[in-house]
A and B are shown apart, each in its own frame.
Chain A
Amino acid sequence: MSVPAILEVDNLQIHYRTREGVARAVDGASFSVPEGKIVGLVGESGCGKTTAVRAIMGVLAENGSRAGGRVVFQGKPIDAGNTRPLLWREIAYVPQSAMSSLDPVYTVGEQIVEVLTKRGGAARSAARARSAELFDLVGLSERRLADYPHQFSGGMRQRAAIAMALALEPSLLLADEPVTALDVIVQRQILDTLRELQQRLRLSMVMVTHDISVVAYLCDEIVVMYAGQVVESGPVREVLARPRHPYTMGLRNAFPDLVSDAMELVPIDGSPPDLRETLTGCRFAPRCPFVETACLSHALAPVTTGGHLSACRRDGEADALRAAALRPSTWLRP
């Protein structure tokens, strides 16, 4: 790819200690974020997408640790030991529920001023002026800086969280399901704001979501995760139009589409594996309609074709599999 990467994640391994043993939440995930692009990190609950993002920031839960792999940000390896000075200034975060990042007992303005003064070293007066600028940037009225978080609607809170994340002009924005809890019209308005800011400020972005429609609307690249690994990645247009991995094909069939002619959604039978168990072969194999005996034992071997990566043993037959995947009967289990 011609655009240099601002972030590279290479063979990342994140383990959580649990009472029932070690869960390999992220198990050898690799992807990169090209400078000035929006990457959609998609997958279902427990696929490791949120863990991957928290690991990039070096803020894993107490029982989590990086067991291997590298994260390189702007050419320098980063880990939990050295991310702290980068947070807010270089790498900023927008959570799913802004309520969890905003303190209910301070006005929203005070909280943005605090980020600017404590983290950014700005003088209070300059910080106040800058907060007003930031509110304007995300489409909020300056008057609302004096309000408390509970006086904001869900969409306004999300805008405030974005304003706060942008306070110190980071170069990379990590957003974890930033529009999931919002109504569809508000969701669209926030997505448009994010896109506009990303272009105006030349931001790079990772958007964690379960919603492939949101990725299709907003993102340039897509990374599909399943059971702690990346199964497919590439340009959004290419991956959604011509998925090469059976999981992505299945996800596409199962996803509601307002404008398609299909009158039925096709589920993927079964559920993801327990990540506390020792897993061999392709993790999607037990649910895959195209599984062969060798899939159960062969380790993951990603194949890249023109910037489009797929981790399927049968990638050579991807076109034929895709045609078969469009037939609902393919996904029916006896």
Chain B
Amino acid sequence: MAAPVNALVELRGVAKHFPVARSLGEVVRGQHPAVRALDGVSFDIGAGDALAIVGESGCGKTTLGRLLLKLVEPTAGTIAFDGAALAGLSGEALKAFRRQAQLVFQNPFDALNPRFTIYRAVAEPLLNAGIDKSEHADRVAEAFRRVHLPDLERYLDRYPHQLSGGQLQRVVLARALVLTPRFLVADEPVSMLDVSVRAGILSLMREIREEMGLTAVYISHDLALVRYLCERTVVMYLGTIVEDGPTLEIVRRPRHPYTRALVAAVPVPDADQSRAPLPIIGSVPDARDPPSGCRFRDRCPHAFARCATETPPLRAVGEGHTVACHLDLA
């Protein structure tokens, strides 16, 4: 993997397994089944980069986002932020990390406490971080300026239900920015918004990231959307990375058979589009019992004997582009 020159976040062999309810037979046999939400993921996120993590439900993308923010602990592997292992953080260092790494919630309609005024919602992270109250008003105003919510006074004493979806998403962003973080993780940040509003939020996120020099991870199921946000995309399938590379390369010349199916499945706003059958078999298998070798093999139209016995490692196929497949599909 071509490691970014200056990595802010480094993941090495990160795994997260969630225990699931055991059947009687499993109890008797002393087995402890687990969902392997994430299974040995390694990559770096360069400082100032925008990275998309794309995949379908159950691929582990949301778990990965939570691990990056130290909201859950990995079962195995290490995650380092700015050179320091997250697992070892405590006390002041942990507080500093919490200030620097922020989450942007998926659904702006759920992300804010309905009984808090907009001011209180945006100022709350300051309170939690122990920032002196005399600074709050200025910092809230600054965050509002960044998200282009003009005439601040109009909003501060209002409640979430009095705002439109687009305004709410700006407030949610302001809340994430009020501590001037360096690292942002956004889980499906615009999936709940209407199309005409969504475009505005996307360009705002791009602008903020450039202006503040933020490193950002966008988690999404929507390849068509991340294309407008991130230069780099990581594609996940059943807890593993199958492809990692420049977004435009991935969208235009996908190399992994799964990415190919994913790209082919996205409809486009044009009546003359391909309606050819998707190059994929069946549906996502049970994450408690994934296939041996390549996890995609039982759905892959190109699978052969080696795929069942040998897990394909990520290997370079181009500039900053890696693929986990035994075949070389060009």
- Show the binding face of A for B, using Cβ within 8 Å: 44-45, 153-155, 183-189, 191-192, 210-214, 216-217, 236-237, 240-241, 250-260, 263-269, 271
Contact = CB atoms under 8 A, between A and B. Distances in A.
Given A185-B261, A265-B203, A210 B195 contact: yes
Contacts of B24: none
16 contacts: A153-B283, A186-B56, A187-B265, A210-B194, A213-B267, A214-B267, A216-B269, A250-B196, A251-B196, A256-B228, A257-B270, A258-B224, A258-B227, A259-B270, A260-B268, A267-B199
B227 A241 contact: no
Tell me the interface secondary structure of chain A in the complex. helix
Contacts, number: 116
Given A254-B196, A254-B198, A188 B265 contact: yes
Nearest to A287: B196
B129 interface: no
B195 A237 contact: no
A185 B282 CA distance: 10
B47 to A, nearest CB: 23
Given A258-B227, A263-B228, A44 B196 contact: yes
A271 B269 contact: no
Q: Which of A191, A212, A254 has the most CB of B within 10 A?
A: A254
Contacts of A188: 265, 267, 278
Contacts of A45: 165, 194
A252 B195 CA distance: 9
Contacts of B267: 188, 191, 211, 213-214, 216-217
A9 to B, nearest CB: 23
A100 B21 CA distance: 26
Contact of A258 (B57, B165, B166, B268): B268
Given A187-B265, A236-B271, 13 more contacts: A44-B196, A153-B283, A154-B57, A184-B56, A213-B267, A216-B267, A216-B271, A241-B271, A251-B196, A255-B269, A256-B222, A260-B268, A264-B228
Contacts of B194: 44-45, 210
Nearest to A154: B57
A43 B273 CA distance: 22
Contacts of B273: 216-217
**4 closest cross-chain pairs (CB), A and B:** A267-B200, A265-B199, A267-B199, A237-B271
Q: Which of B57, B223, B261, B272 has the most CB of A within 10 A?
A: B57
B198 A257 contact: no
Contacts of A186: 56, 283
B67 interface: no
Interface string B192-207: 0011111110110000
Contacts of B278: 185, 188-189
Interface string B26-68: 0000000000000000000000000000001100000000000
Contacts of B269: 212-213, 216, 240, 252, 255, 257
B1 interface: no
Given A210-B194, A216-B273, A185 B199 contact: no
A257 B197 contact: no
A176 B280 CA distance: 27
Size class of the contact patch on chain B = 35 or more
B224 A267 contact: no
Interface in B243-267: 251, 261-263, 265-267
B270 A216 contact: yes
Tell me the interface secondary structure of chain B in the complex. loop
Given A212-B269, A240-B269, A259-B268, A254 B199 contact: yes
Given A216-B267, A255-B269, A267-B203, A185 B280 contact: yes
A69 to B, nearest CB: 26
A154 B56 CA distance: 12
B110 to A, nearest CB: 16
A256 B227 contact: yes
A271 B165 CA distance: 10
Nearest to B59: A183
Contacts of B261: 185
Q: Which of A252, A257, A260, A265 has the most CB of B within 10 A?
A: A265
B275 interface: yes
A184 B198 contact: no
Nearest to A236: B271
Nearest to B252: A259
A258 B263 CA distance: 8
Contacts of B57: 154, 183
Contacts of B223: 184, 258
Contacts of B196: 44, 250-251, 254, 267-268
Nearest to A268: B196
B265 A254 contact: no
B164 interface: yes
B221 interface: yes
Nearest to B226: A256
A271 B166 contact: yes
B200 A184 contact: no
B225 interface: yes
Contacts of B266: 184, 213, 258
B249 to A, nearest CB: 13
B164 A216 contact: no
A214 B265 CA distance: 11
Interface string B202-235: 1100000000000000000111110110000000
Contacts of A236: 271
